[in-house]
Each structure stands twice: as C-alpha cells, then as structure tokens.
Amino acid sequence: MSGISRAAKAAILVSALGYFVDIYDLLLFGIVRVPSLRTLGVPDAAMKEVGATLLNYQMFGMLLGGIFWGVLGDKKGRLSVLFGSIFLYSVANLANAFVDRTGSVETGLLAYQWLRLIAGIGLAGELGAGITLVSELMPADKRGYGTMVVAGFGILGAVAATLIGDIFPWQTAYIIGGVMGLMLLIMRIGVYESGMYEQTAEANVKRGDFLYLFTSGERFMKYLRSILIGVPLWFAVGILIIFSKEFGVALGATFTVNPGYAIGFMYGGLSLGDFLTGYLSQRLGSRRMVVFVCQLINVALITVYLLSRDFGPVYFYTLCVVLGLANGYWAVFVTIAAEQFGTNLRATVATTVPNFVRGSVPLLTTAFLYLDKEVFAHGAVNSAQGMVPAAFIVGGIALALGVWAILTMPETHGKDLNYHE
C-alpha cells in the first residue's frame, strides 16, 4: 500500500496476527464446549446452563480487562497493552488444557471458570490497542484500510479454531492457542509506538481517565452509542451461534447442529464482511451508512434464522455464512469508536467499547435463558420451545438500540485524530 509508513505496515501485521490468535482463543470455548464439559463429567441436560455460566465468566473478564487495558494503553502506551494482553491470555489458555486433571467435577468446573475469567481479561486488550495504534499511524484518508486488514484477517482465527477444534482433542486445541500467542510475542521487534501518543505523553494532558467519559452528557452519549452499535453482532454470536445446537432442536433441524462448524462458517462470513464493509466505507466516504445497511440486513436474516423449520446442514451452515457477512462490520465499528475521541482517551475508548459489547453477552444470555425457561417454556413438555420467542425479544431490543445508535452517531471518516479531549 503506497503512502503508508513502514511503522504502520509493521503495526498492521502484528495487530492482525495478534487479533487472529485473540479470536482463536476467544471462540475456542464455544467450539470445544460440549466435549470439554463431557470430559469433566457434566451431563447433557446441564450443558446449556453450565456453558452459559462459563461464557459469562469469560465475557465478564473481558469487561474488567477492557477497563484495565484501556486505561493502561493511554497511560503507558499502546504497545504495553498489545503485548501484555497477548501474554496473559496465552498463559491462561495453556493452563485451560489441564482442568480435567484437577479431581472432582466441581473442582474442574471451578478451575475452568477462573481460567475463562483470566483469559477474558487478557483477551480484552489486543484489539483495542491494535486498532488504536494502526489508526494513529495510518494517513487519515486510508485509515479504514488498515483497520479492515486487522479485523478481516484476525477474524479468520475463528475458522482456524473450528478446524483445529474438530481435528484435535479439546486439550490440544487450547495448547495450540497458547503456544501461538507466546510465539507472536517474538514478533514485537520492529513495532513502534504511535507518534501521536508520544506527543500526548510529553504534553501536560491527563491520560486514560475512564471516569472522564461520564463527566459530560454529550461525551457519555457518544460513548454509549459507540457500544450499542456493536451489541447486535454479539447477540448473533453469543446466542444464535453459541447455542446453535440447542436451536437446531428447537427449530426441528433434520440433523444435529455442530456448534463448532456454526462458529467457523459464521466467522468465515464475518471475515469477508469486514473486508467488504471496510472497503465500502472508504469508497463511499461514510462509516455510518455501511453500518446502518448491515443492521437492516441483520434484522431480516435473524428473522429468517428464527423462523426456519425442518432444514438440513447445507441450508443452516449457508445461513451462518450469510449471517456472518451481514454482521461483518466489526472493523468499521471499532474504527468509529477510536475516531470519536481524542488521543488522551482513544485507547481507553477503543479497548473498552468492544469489550463492553462482548460484556453485554452475560446480560443477553441471562435475559434469553430467563425468557426461555421461566416465561415461554415454563411447564411446557418441550423445553426447547421457549428459545425462539425469547431470542426474538432479546434480539429485537438489541437491534433496535443498534439502529438508533448508528443513526444518531456523527460521521468520522477522514477525521483528523491529532487532538485531545
């Protein structure tokens, strides 16, 4: 890419590879959920509830980690977060391979919960730091291309996780993820700190003040909108795809849905979507327009998903790809968040926003499971019949808030980022 410095290219390369490993480790639990819990002795009847609990631990860890790494990124630099987060989640995932050797089912699950929490804290930092670094090193008119490559390539980590999780035992899959992360740390040579950040560090400017986001109504609403436009994506992943096996039963699928395959196919679509939306946002000169169109298509596809009946594997996995394509605005979404705020708060925002979106998963799953069990399927013979109306309600709220947020968000394409809050 002409006109792009060597430092920017190195940052794009390492950030993209880091996000690849990040996504691999982030989605691996959903892929190996069933075999890993069976190894620990969890009965099939409790798979959904135990799986939701473990997912919530991981996502809560990302919520905590988003604040920690975001503040650190503005106070100590983008690189400290980029490599510190990779180290933490790599070690946690290596340890996760050995939870089945801890003794009783209760002890094993407790270890699994804490390691998912620690891994979640580690996983929270890489993307925000990478997007912030690339955004500040790239020319304003080409910024979207850099973040497009980081997210588009990085999301392929889910496809790798699907293949590895299908070929190898779940313990080996965790080990591979941990080793890939540790190997990536060697590549830190040649990656340099953002010049914008170094100028801010030298100036007498308060950096990384998370609470400052809440001291102004206008600033808070801008921050809230940044979060809400990403929530529908994680409804699709955290509800429709993670629990795709159970949805297959509820919708009368003619085969047993493999959640690992569903994740792999959806994330293949997400990767294509990230490249497509990143390119279109650059060509059209508007990030808002692209995200808004994605949201509208998402409404239609989620409706199709929940109204489908008696389908086979080709139909379902194709729908997963198309659903991923419609939700492939993650790169544009994170770029919008990074471009909304000044250099002294940019890492805090770019790191906390995607993790608050991911951290919404416990709220989404709690609401979904409550509606499923206590409202729609309460006392029903078929316990799966409450999943569809529950998903319609939770997804409908998430999509409505997402559409409102992007329609009221200021356009940031081509914005000069060299300023302070």
Is residue 77 included in any domain, yes or no?
yes
Q: Is the pLDDT of residue 263 over 50?
A: yes
pLDDT bucket at 379, cuts 50 / 70 / 90? low
Average pLDDT of the residues in 260-277: 89
SS3 content of the chain, % helix, strand, coil (to 5): 80, 0, 20
Is residue 81 included in any domain, yes or no?
yes
Q: Is the pLDDT of residue 34 over 90?
A: no
Higher pLDDT, 152 or 402: 402
Is residue 395 included in any domain, yes or no?
yes
- pLDDT at residue number 282: 86
Q: Is the pLDDT of residue 82 over 70?
A: yes
pLDDT bucket at 298, cuts 50 / 70 / 90? very high
Percent of the chain with pLDDT over 70: 93
Three-class SS state of 215? coil
- pLDDT at residue number 174: 94
Convert the pLDDT of each residue in 201-248 to its tens digit: 666 777 778 888 898 888 999 999 999 999 999 899 889 998 898 899
Is residue 416 included in any domain, yes or no?
no
Average pLDDT of the residues in 343-372: 86
Is residue 413 included in any domain, yes or no?
no
- pLDDT at residue number 305: 95
- Residue 169: burial class (beta carbons within 10 Å; 0-12, 13-18, 19+): middle
Residues with Cβ < 8 Å from 4, sequence gap 6 or more?
Answer: 138, 139, 142, 146
Is residue 419 included in any domain, yes or no?
no
CB contact at 8 A, 274 and 330:
yes
Average pLDDT of the residues in 155-180: 90
pLDDT bucket at 197, cuts 50 / 70 / 90? low
> How far is residue 341 from each of residues 202, 206, 288, 324, 346, measured CA to CA in Å?
19, 14, 16, 28, 6
Residues with Cβ < 8 Å from 84, sequence gap 6 or more?
Answer: 69, 72, 125
Q: Is the pLDDT of residue 140 over 70?
A: yes
Is residue 345 included in any domain, yes or no?
yes
Average pLDDT of the residues in 178-201: 75
| Amino acid in the structure at residue 190 | G
- pLDDT at residue number 114: 93
How far is the C-alpha of 177 from the C-alpha of 171, rounded, in Å?
Answer: 10
| DSSP per-residue string spanning 46-62 | GHHHHHHHHHHHHHHHH
Three-class SS state of 249? helix
Convert the pLDDT of each residue in 85-135 to its tens digit: 889 999 999 999 888 766 677 888 888 999 999 999 998 888 888 888 888
For 216-233, b/e burial (b = at least 16 CB within 10 A) is eeebeebbebbbbbbbbb
Average pLDDT of the residues in 253-270: 88
- pLDDT at residue number 201: 66
Average pLDDT of the residues in 296-306: 94
Domains identified in the chain, total number: 1
Provide the domain limits for residue 268: 6-187+209-407
- pLDDT at residue number 381: 44
Is residue 202 included in any domain, yes or no?
no
Q: Is the pLDDT of residue 193 over 50?
A: yes
Q: Which CATH number belongs to the domain containing residue 356 in this structure? A: 1.20.1250.20
